Structure 1
Amino acid sequence: MLQITPQLRKSIRISKALDVYRTRQHKADNEKSRTAKLRKLSDRRFSELVDDVARIMKQGDTTPFSFEGACRHGVRSSLCLDGWPWLDADICAAEVIAAALNKIGAMRPTWWQGQPEYADTDTSRGFCAHRRCGRPIPTDRGIRNGKPVKYCCDECGSTAAEEMRRREGRRVSMAEWLALCAARSSEKERQRSRNCDQCGEFMLTRDPKDRYCSRGCFHIAQRKYEQRTCENAACGMMFTPKNSGRGKVTRYCSKACAAACRIQARPALSCLTCGTIFYPDFPSDKRRYCSPAHNPYASKAARAATFVDAPPLAPTEIEPIVSPFRCDKA
Structure 2
Amino acid sequence: MAGLFTAKPSRRERDAARERLAKDRAEKIVGNLCAVTRLALEEGRILTTLAYEGTFRATIRSELCLQGWSWQAADDTAQDVVAVVFSILQVKRPDWYEGQPDWTIKRGTLIERTRCANCGHALPEGHTKFCSTPCRRVHGLRLM
TM-score by length of 2: 0.54
Cα offset for 1:54? Answer: 1.1
Amino acid at match of 1:104: L
Higher helix share: 2
Amino acid at match of 1:47: E
**What are the equivalent positions in structure 2 for 1:34-49 lying under 5 Å apart?**
39-49=19-29
Q: Percent identity?
A: 29
Give the alignment partner of residue 86 of structure 1, picking from 58, 71, 82: 71
Cα offset for 1:86? Answer: 0.6
Structure 2 residue 26 is the aligned partner of structure 1 residue 51:
no
Q: What is the distance in 2 between the residues matched to 1:123 and 1:86?
A: 44
1:97 is aligned to 82
| Structure showing greater relative contact order (alpha-carbon pairs closer than 8 Å, 6 or more residues apart) | 2
Cα offset for 1:40? Answer: 2.1
Amino acid at match of 1:43: K
Structure 2 residue 67 is the aligned partner of structure 1 residue 77:
no
TM-score by length of 1: 0.25
Q: Is this contact kept in 2: 1:75–1:93, CA < 8 A?
A: yes
3-state secondary structure, aligned to 2:94: coil
Cα offset for 1:122? Answer: 2.9
1:122 is aligned to 112
Q: Which stretches of structure 1, 4 residues or longer, exceed 4 Å deviation after superposition?
A: none
**What are the equivalent positions in structure 2 for 1:139-158 lying under 5 Å apart?**
none
Residue deviations 1:36-64 (CA, integer Å, cap 9, x gap):
xx832122111111111111122142111
Report the count of equivalent residues: 91
Residue deviations 1:57-101 (CA, integer Å, cap 9, x gap):
221421111111111111111111111001100110011111101
Q: What is the distance in 1 between the residues matched to 2:113 and 2:19?
A: 46
Amino acid at match of 1:95: D
3-state secondary structure, aligned to 1:64: coil
Q: What is the distance in 2 between the residues matched to 1:40 and 1:109?
A: 31
- Structure 1's 121 and 96: CA in aligned 2 closer, same or farther, altered over 3 A? same
3-state secondary structure, aligned to 1:97: helix
Give the alignment partner of residue 109 of structure 1, picking from 80, 87, 94: 94
Cα offset for 1:123? Answer: 3.8
Q: What is the distance in 1 between the residues matched to 2:56 and 2:47?
A: 16
**What are the equivalent positions in structure 2 for 1:1-330 lying under 5 Å apart?**
39-58=19-38, 59-60=40-41, 61-115=46-100, 116-118=102-104, 121-123=111-113
Amino acid at match of 1:40: R
Bigger radius of gyration, 1 or 2?
1
Q: What is the distance in 2 between the residues matched to 1:68 and 1:123?
A: 30
Residue deviations 1:206-232 (CA, integer Å, cap 9, x gap):
xxxxxxxxxxxxxxxxxxxxxxxxxxx
Residue deviations 1:93-149 (CA, integer Å, cap 9, x gap):
0111111011111111122221224268534979xxxxxxxxxxx98xxxxxxxxxx
